[in-house]
Copies of this chain bind each other. A is one copy, B any other.
Amino acid sequence: MTGLPVPTMPAPPVAVVGLGQLGGSLAAALAAAGREVSGWDVDPAARDAAAARGVRIGRELSGVVVLAVPLPVLGTALDGLDVAPDATVTDVGSVKAPVQEVLGGRFGGRYVGGHPMCGTERSGHAATDPALFRGARWALCLEPATELPRWLRVAEVALAAGAEVVPATVAEHDAAVAAVSHVPHLLAAALAAAAGAAGPLALALAAGSFRDGTRVIASDPAFVTAVLEGNAGPAEAALEQVRAQLARPWPELVAAGHAVRTADPGRRPVRVPLDRAALLALGRAGGAVTRRLAAFVEGWVPEGG
């Protein structure tokens, strides 16, 4: 036996179930990056659109299987599809505890909960954009039961699509997105509803601050409600924190909010060993993984973090 170089492990194929905005964009991004990608959608038009972007259409799912379907149908999205017994399964749902319960219960340590922090108020395969994930954060959950090599395999998929990977536990993820995504939807709804109740003159005088502050509630109400109900506990806790902030003296509140909104801490590059605790510490520090190497990952944390 001569000293042949150790072969790099080949990137596993990726199979995307649900070829709407998120799934279609991911499949297209991976196909464009030269990865082997297959996909499935119950809608023939979505399948045709993905096929035109180089996605092989089929019901056999192996390698990294990405469920990119709305939360209410996550539990049945694999019905009639053939999942390889050693497949790694991930998803892109906005809330992780209920999905961890369903898919973690079914796939055990082979399930890795994921949540790319992107997407727009548009939806469906017509909103597909291979650049959607570029520079976006993609939360990937590391639970005690999660098999680390599978977590890394899913992380490589997110990195290949151009995202930065944020490690977090399911509970940490759900609390964080309650504060930065679910409560903003509640505040937008309350702001719009209160302005509507204030009457036509108020709506006639609505300008930039009202438009910005209510933009997210233009999204599909069924989707917003499903996400809120799937994360009711953390969302209620985060809303309570906002209520507490609103009770502060206004000059103090305005200064505090302005400081957070305009902070730019900068980034410090870091290397993190392939270790559960170290990866979770990176996420808790507000950092992200940008590259996988053989024995560690590269990434960054906020300056001073």
Binding site for B on A (CB under 8 A): 117-120, 136-137, 139, 166, 168, 172-173, 175-177, 179-181, 183-210, 212-219, 221, 224-225, 228-229, 232, 238-239, 241-246, 248, 250-251, 253-263, 283-288, 302, 305
Q: Is the CB of B194 within 8 A of A241?
A: yes
Cβ B257 vs Cβ A191 within 8 A: yes
A189, chain B: closest CB distance, angstroms: 3
B191 touches A187 (CB 8 A): yes
Task: Contact check, B189 vs A177: say whether CB atoms are below 8 A apart.
Answer: no
Contact between chains at B176 and A258 (CB < 8 Å): no
Most chain B C-beta atoms within 10 Å of own C-beta, residue among A168, A245, A251, A286: A245
Quickly give the copy total for this chain: 2
Q: Is the CB of A254 within 8 A of B305?
A: no
- Chain B residue numbers with a CB within 8 Å of A168 are 201
Alpha-carbon distance between A6 and B75 when the two chains are bound, in angstroms: 79
CB within 8 A of A180: which of B177, B210, B243? Answer: B210
Q: How far is the CB of A229 from chain B (nearest CB, A)?
A: 7
Shortest Cβ distance from A301 into B: residue:
B200
Interface of A is mostly: helix
A305 and B180 within 8 A (CB):
no
Asked if B194 and A183 make an inter-chain contact with CB atoms under 8 angstroms apart, the answer reads: yes
Q: Decide: B198 and A258 in contact? CB cutoff 8 A.
A: no
B177 touches A205 (CB 8 A): yes
Q: Which residues of B have CB within 8 Å of A208?
A: 118-120, 216
Assembly CA distance A202 to B241 (angstroms): 13
Q: Which residues of B contact A228 (CB under 8 A)?
A: 250, 254
- A70, B195: Cα distance in complex, Å: 26
Residues of B within 8 A of A188 (CB): 209, 213, 257, 261
* Residues on B with beta carbons closer than 8 Å to the beta carbon of A187: 187, 191, 213, 242, 246
Residues of B within 8 A of A218 (CB): 258, 261-262
